[in-house]
Amino acid sequence: MKHAIEVRGLVKSFGEVRALDGVTLAAAPGTVLGVLGPNGAGKTTAVRVLSTLTSPDAGTARVLGHDVAAEARKVRERIGLTGQYAGLDPNLSGEQNLVLIARLLGASRRQARQRAHELIERFDLAHAATRAAAKYSGGMRRRLDLAASIVRRPEVLFLDEPTTGLDPQSRGGLWEIVRELVAEGTTVLLTTQYLEEADQLAHAIAVIDHGRVIASGTPSELKQTVGGLVLRLSPTRPEAAEQLVQLAEWAAGASARREDGAVVVPVAHAGEAQAVMARIGQAGVDLAGFGLHEPTLDEVFLSLTGHRTETDHQQKTKELTA
């Protein structure tokens, strides 16, 4: 079997809305496929089709060689799912949640307790094992949720925005767990809004927008389509922006653009940013601030589609006015 996940021309509509409009994806066994896109791009629908929760209108989706529509039962035997909203029983303790899942999957009482215990240790939940899941923090709930999806060690694991809303520390912890699972040979399909997350975890990335894959490749291939890094310059006087654009273009040989009073310069590497900064220093233009960062999802989007992701745009505006 060449691909653990193989999706061709997947179409799914809800009334007038075409949530998936011909999506094609593939993931090799034992790798992480990152599906990157803004809210409403179709990520969750894709995960729901692959985890047998939604049947597609057209196209085919195979998981471990089984068609998700025709052989749903066989697919369910071998996958794990962590949805965007915690699939836990809030009235049960962390341990009871895991025991329930193990029992439903055919474990004896003893096996179920043993597996729950293992997972609770591994996911650092021992201190809260008997507490109701409703009283868990966001990070703990995500860990328990992930634990619940690997109770029977699935061969393919679907994670739908597993770290949305988590603080950076919890996010890092979750990434660590995903890496371990992949090291054990699990194939993971992960959806995310964060380029950094896809970059950290994924062997291959598919960028989707309006239900279509608009770019795919390895993280480095994708970043090359945007440029290596992004230098953002905020002049003290707004009138100086135009001068900054000219200086940056002259120094970096790239096309700088103005954005909400700031100037954004795509650069290939840090050295190029340094050259731009030196040039600005020589010209004596005062800066209120500057920053060098990896291209964001927004910038990948802008370069791929010519339009922005709404969430990122709002965030950026907030950062600038802050």
Partner 1 sequence: MTALASTGPRPTTTWNTTRGPLGQSASMAARSLASIKHYPAQLVEFFMIPLMILLSITFFMGGQMMGSWQDFLQYAGPTIIAMGLFFAITSTGMGLYGDIKEGVFDRLTAMPVSRFALLAGRVAADMVKHAWALLVVGAVAFAIGYRAEGGAAGTAAAAGALLLFLFAVSWTMALVGLTAKSEEQIQTWMISLLMPLAYTSTIFVEKDTLPGPVQWWAQVNPMTALADTMRMFLGGGSPGAETLALLAWCAAILAVFVPLSLRAYRRKLTN
> Any contact of residue 1 with partner 1 (CB under 8 A)?
no
Helix axes 168-183, 138-149, angle to 10 degrees: 10
In whole angstroms, give the CA distance from residue 267 to residue 274.
Answer: 10
- Output the smallest distance, CB 321 to partner 1, in A: 34
Considering only the stretches 3-11, 119-127, 195-203, 295-303, report the one whose residues sit in contact with partner 1 under the rule CB under 8 A. 195-203
Q: Is 254:265 a contact under the CB 8 Å cutoff?
A: yes
> Any contact of residue 114 with partner 1 (CB under 8 A)?
no
The binder of partner 1 chosen from 136, 159, 186, 297 (CB under 8 A): 186
Amino acid identity of residue 10, one-letter, is: L
Site string for partner 1, 120-149 (x = CB under 8 A): ------------x---------------xx
# chain residues binding partner 1, by CB under 8 A: 53
- Output the smallest distance, CB 312 to partner 1, in A: 22
- Output the smallest distance, CB 212 to partner 1, in A: 22
> Any contact of residue 165 with partner 1 (CB under 8 A)?
no
Region at 319 (left for phi over 0; alpha for psi -120 to 50; beta for the rest): alpha
Residues 23-52 that bind partner 1 (CB under 8 A): 30-32, 51-52
Tokens standing for residue 243: 């001068």
Classified as helix, coil or strand, 25 is strand
In Å, the largest CA–CA distance within the chain is 75
Given the complex with partner 1, which of 81 and 276 has the nearer CB atom?
81
Query: Residue 229 to residues 27, 265, 274: CA-CA distances in angstroms?
Result: 27, 8, 12
> Any contact of residue 108 with partner 1 (CB under 8 A)?
yes
Amino acid identity of residue 311, one-letter, is: T
The binder of partner 1 chosen from 9, 40, 87, 228 (CB under 8 A): 87
In whole angstroms, give the CA distance from residue 265 to residue 230.
Answer: 6
Taking Cα atoms as reference points, which of 158, 121, 149 lies closest to residue 5? 158
Given the complex with partner 1, which of 89 and 259 has the nearer CB atom?
89
> Interface residues with partner 1 (CB under 8 A)?
30-32, 51-55, 73, 76-77, 79, 81, 83, 85-92, 96, 100-108, 111, 115, 132, 148-149, 152-153, 155, 179, 182-186, 199-203, 218-219
